[in-house]
């Protein structure tokens, strides 16, 4: 009886699996290193975990605070709430809190560790520039981030990256001190110092490498999750081209306006609708958190075409 009109986008799924797998691999290397190195590593890892847990639990408050956004009640913003109400009812999701940031930069983000604790935030600039249906499309994209639990996934992913870098670093230090103890009994002091310097350099290099790899993987994962949110959002509202037109409007505007505040907020696991891009970011798509506009529009055009086909 129940038919779903859209098959899963296999290409996107495959890329995401690859990224997650590679992230896991980096993590596994780190954990192996931790097991070899022993107890002191665990202490440091626990501290890192606590910091990330705090970021995870307070992600909503941190993001709202850094954007100077305020939660609004249905009485304060009836139109916005009505749109969110309907979308949540269509998607059968609990309704997140709704916030407005008073900035003319057109953007939106979703944050919060769970569906119940989620916050959707739009800027006054976004509401001003987009019509009702485009605003709905942007909110559907953000709601998809909430439904996909992107805050949790990306927090864990970045935690694994940091962990891997940290652990390899510590592993080298523990090797270092272990080695020094051995040499202290037998060999000359000068030789020990030279080895120590070489080992320290190698440790730096290796941990930097691990961090760089995990960083690139996390960025790739972030881009795939943006595409996934575009896709789910467009299917939810049934109108991919409305999301596309919102993207074009917002991206065009954002490119022209310098954007310090948005980028600093990006550190705090908030999922923006469009990145606040600077020239440096657009040069290398490898480092971008969001896919390029062309890629996003192409995906939406394909979806629109799929809706136009029979059966």
Partner 1 sequence: MKIFDVLLGRTKPIQANLDALFGLPSAFITLEASEALVPSGEAGVCYKPMAGQPFAKTTEEIEGLLAVGGDPAKVREETDQFGYHWVVLSSSDPQALVTQAHMVNTTLQEEGYGPQLLCSVFGFHPSGATGSATVYLVYLYKRGTFYPFVPLGGHERRDQQTELRLEIVLGNDLRTEKEKERWMALWGLPVH
Q: With respect to partner 1, which residue has the nearer C-beta, 132 or 278?
A: 132
Shortest spacing between CB 17 and partner 1, in angstroms? 7
**Closest-CA residue to 254 (of 232, 227, 282):** 282
Stretch binding partner 1 (CB under 8 A), from 160-168, 205-213, 233-241, 287-295: 233-241
State the catalytic residue, choosing from 134, 136, 142, 226: 142
H-type alpha helices, the chain: 10-37, 39-57, 59-66, 78-91, 124-129, 132-147, 150-186, 189-237, 240-256, 260-266, 279-283, 293-308
158 binds partner 1 (CB under 8 A): no
| Candidate residues 18, 29, 115, 148; the one interacting with partner 1 per rule CB under 8 A | 148
Nearer to partner 1, 6 or 287 (CB): 6
206 and 263 in contact (C-beta within 8 Å)?
no
Binding mask 185-224 for partner 1 (x = CB under 8 A): ---------------------------------------x
Residues 104-133 that bind partner 1 (CB under 8 A): 132-133
Residue 296 in the binding site for partner 1 (CB under 8 A): no
Residue 142 annotated as catalytic: yes
Residue with the two structure tokens 């003319």: 104
Residues 122/110, Cβ–Cβ less than 8 Å:
no
Of the residues 4, 7, 128, 181, which one makes contact with partner 1 according to CB under 8 A: 4
- The span from the CA of 64 to the CA of 66, in Å, is 6
What is the side-by-side order of every strand in the sheet holding 119-123?
A: 69-71, 97-101, 119-123, 108-111, 271-272
Distance of CA 32 to the CA centre of its chain: 26
Single residue of 11, 40, 94, 182 touching partner 1 by CB under 8 A = 94
Rg of the chain over Cα atoms, rounded to whole angstroms, equals 23
| Alpha helices (H) in 38-110, listed in sequence order | 39-57, 59-66, 78-91
Q: Which residues bind partner 1 (CB under 8 A)?
A: 1-6, 8, 13, 16-17, 20, 74, 78, 82-83, 85-86, 88-92, 94-95, 132-133, 136, 144, 147-150, 152-153, 224-225, 228-229, 232, 235-241, 304, 307-311
Active site residues: 142
């Amino acid at each position: 009886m129940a038919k779903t009109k859209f098959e899963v986008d296999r290409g996107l799924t495959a890329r995401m699996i690859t990224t997650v797998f590679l992230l896991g691999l980096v993590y596994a290397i780190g954990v192996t290193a931790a097991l070899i190195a022993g107890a002191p590593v665990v202490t440091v890892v626990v501290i890192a975990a606590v910091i990330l847990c705090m970021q995870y639990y307070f992600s909503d408050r941190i993001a709202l605070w850094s954007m100077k956004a305020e939660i609004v009640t249905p009485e304060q913003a009836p139109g916005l709430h009505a749109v969110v109400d309907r979308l949540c009812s269509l998607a059968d999701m609990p309704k997140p809190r709704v916030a407005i940031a008073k900035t003319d930069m057109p953007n939106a983000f979703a944050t919060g560790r769970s569906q119940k604790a989620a916050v959707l935030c739009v800027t006054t600039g976004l509401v001003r520039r987009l019509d009702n249906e485009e605003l709905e499309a942007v909110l559907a994209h953000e709601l998809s981030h909430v439904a996909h639990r992107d805050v949790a996934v990306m927090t864990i992913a970045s935690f694994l990256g940091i962990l891997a870098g940290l652990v390899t670093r510590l592993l080298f230090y523990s090797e270092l001190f272990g080695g020094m103890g051995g040499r202290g009994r037998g060999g000359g002091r000068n030789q020990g110092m030279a080895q120590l310097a070489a080992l320290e350099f190698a440790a730096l290099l290796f941990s930097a490498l691990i961090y760089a790899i995990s960083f690139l993987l996390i960025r790739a994962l972030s881009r795939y999750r943006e595409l996934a949110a575009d896709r789910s959002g467009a299917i939810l509202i049934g109108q991919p081209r409305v999301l596309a037109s919102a993207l074009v409007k917002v991206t065009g505007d954002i490119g022209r306006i310098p954007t310090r505040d948005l980028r600093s907020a990006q550190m705090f696991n908030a999922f923006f609708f469009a990145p606040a891009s600077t020239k440096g970011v657009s040069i290398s798509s490898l480092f971008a958190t969001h896919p390029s506009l062309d890629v996003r529009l192409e995906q939406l055009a394909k979806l629109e075409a799929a809706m136009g086909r029979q059966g």
